[in-house]
Amino acid sequence: MHHFHYRNDSLFCEDIPLEQIAKEQGTPSYIYSHATFTRHFQAVDQAFASVPHIIAFAMKANSNIAILRLMASLGSGADIVSGGELFRALKAGIPPNKIVFAGVGKDHNEIKYAIESGILFFNVESGAELQAINHVAGELGTQARVALRVNPNIDPQTHPYISTGMKKSKFGIGADQVLGEFDQAAALPNIQVVGVHAHIGSQLTKVSPFVDSLTKVLGLIQTLKSKGIPIQYLNIGGGLGITYSDETPPQPQELADAITPILKETECEIVMEPGRVIAGNAGILLTRVIYIKDNGTKKFAIVDAAMNDLIRPSLYQAHHDILPVNQVPNAPEDVFDVVGPICESGDFLAQNRTMPVVKEGDLLAVMSAGAYAFTMASNYNSRPKVPEILVKGGESFVIRRRESYDDLIRGEHIPEFLRT
């Protein structure tokens, strides 16, 4: 459920017409709904009320510091994957003891920064990383808390680029090696083993891969206990899917009902890392049609947003619904490619999309653009990044201003020898 809906054929975010935001802030713009973020966080939190848990919002989905501050105010922690994300999380006021750090390539500086910040634990992805963390913790004269990320070799039945828990994946430690790595970890002087982590992929639309994965993880936790390595935290990762078009992913409560018995049996405190399920349908990308082009075979709606603003259609063949901001009852339909101004054939937001006929100047809402959307934006083709706007009831707040042309060259420098 989200708070983007029509009133008298005009698309609103909460109590504000999107047309009004377009007038005030221009297009393209990202628009987020405060009520939707809040509702989604609380749905996850309440679903797991019967087990002790920490929700660590996967901030690679949406890392605007105002959104993170909202998450913090609801009680969220953060799942981070870089030093930059740690910086943002701390700036936003997320408590360090609710921050967990994943990713296969943490470098020395990132490890140091995280230990000094007092994060809850590292999600360790390899033996080499374990050695590096042990080394840095030793230099700092302390112990680092770690969870080992196990790769349970489960096919989550999602897009290959967002599938992370299969044997061929770069993520986690294979089931055949993980016990050995736990032994190694337990023997390292500057490492404190506190957890097991399993995150098998994103946009999962079934409960069964979670159940299969956690069943394996439960067995691992029991084996570790019998070997004298008690596990305090079970980090179940994220991955719950959302409805982009006609998917019917389980609701958080359905997932909780299916896995809570397993979670209870582990006797662990649960950490979870939802990203998409909280942020995905809490945002849209507002764009305007610049031209209509009909080349005889195809019709193109050329809009002012592009793949640099929202790369998911180009990168994952992802579907985003595209709705007219002003709906015309019984409007005729036609088939369009919705494309951006970028000089790449891969620059599209939708292909062969049957939609109400659009014309120059029309406003369109690209739906489900709250997760993996602005965070993946780039300046390709020297396009300034678009603003992010948070709507709360009848008020709107610019939480990131539109970039200027000066922003584009900030940090660039012409060396002396080229100046004459």
Ligand X SMILES: *Cc1c(COP(=O)(O)O)cnc(C)c1O
Select from 176, 168, 171, 224 the least CA-distant residue to 196.
224
Q: How far is the CB of 76 from ligand X (least distance, A)?
A: 13
Q: How far is the CB of 149 from ligand X (least distance, A)?
A: 7
Q: How far is the CB of 256 from ligand X (least distance, A)?
A: 15
Which residues in 399-418 contact ligand X (CB under 6 A)? none
Those residues with Cβ within 8 angstroms of residue 323's Cβ, 6 or more apart along the chain or in another chain: 11, 364, 365, 367
Pairing, β 173-174 against β 121-124 = unpaired
Q: Which residue among 152, 165, 237, 283 contacts ligand X (CB under 6 A)? A: 237
The site for ligand X, by CB under 6 A, has a size of 16
Q: Which residue among 14, 79, 181, 347 contacts ligand X (CB under 6 A)? A: 79
Residue 317 vs 379, nearer CB to ligand X = 317
Which residues in 178-207 contact ligand X (CB under 6 A)? 199, 202
Residue 159 vs 402, nearer CB to ligand X = 159
Q: Which residue among 13, 21, 55, 58 contacts ligand X (CB under 6 A)? A: 58
Catalytic annotation, pick one of 228, 330, 343, 382: 343
Select from 369, 274, 385 the least CA-distant residue to 33.
369
Which residues in 125-144 contact ligand X (CB under 6 A)? none
Tokens representing residue 290 in the block: 């610049």
Bond prior to 261 in cis (omega within 30° of 0): no
Q: Is 28 in the site for ligand X (CB under 6 A)?
A: no
Residue 25 vs 235, nearer CB to ligand X = 235
DSSP H stretches of helix in 252-319: 252-266, 276-279, 312-316
Stretch touching ligand X by CB under 6 A, among 16-24, 56-64, 302-310, 354-362: 56-64
Q: Is 34 in the site for ligand X (CB under 6 A)?
A: no
Q: Is 83 in the site for ligand X (CB under 6 A)?
A: no
Q: How far is CA 177 from the centre of its chain?
A: 29
Confirm whether 343 is a catalytic residue.
yes
Q: Which residue among 11, 44, 47, 61 contacts ligand X (CB under 6 A)? A: 61
Residue 57 vs 348, nearer CB to ligand X = 57
Q: Is 60 in the site for ligand X (CB under 6 A)?
A: yes
Stretch touching ligand X by CB under 6 A, among 7-15, 131-139, 235-243, 384-392: 235-243
Assign 376 to helix, strand or coil: helix
Q: Is 148 in the site for ligand X (CB under 6 A)?
A: no
Q: Is 353 in the site for ligand X (CB under 6 A)?
A: no
Which residues here bind ligand X, judged by CB under 6 A? 58, 60-61, 79, 102, 199, 202, 237-240, 273-277
Enzyme catalytic residues: 343
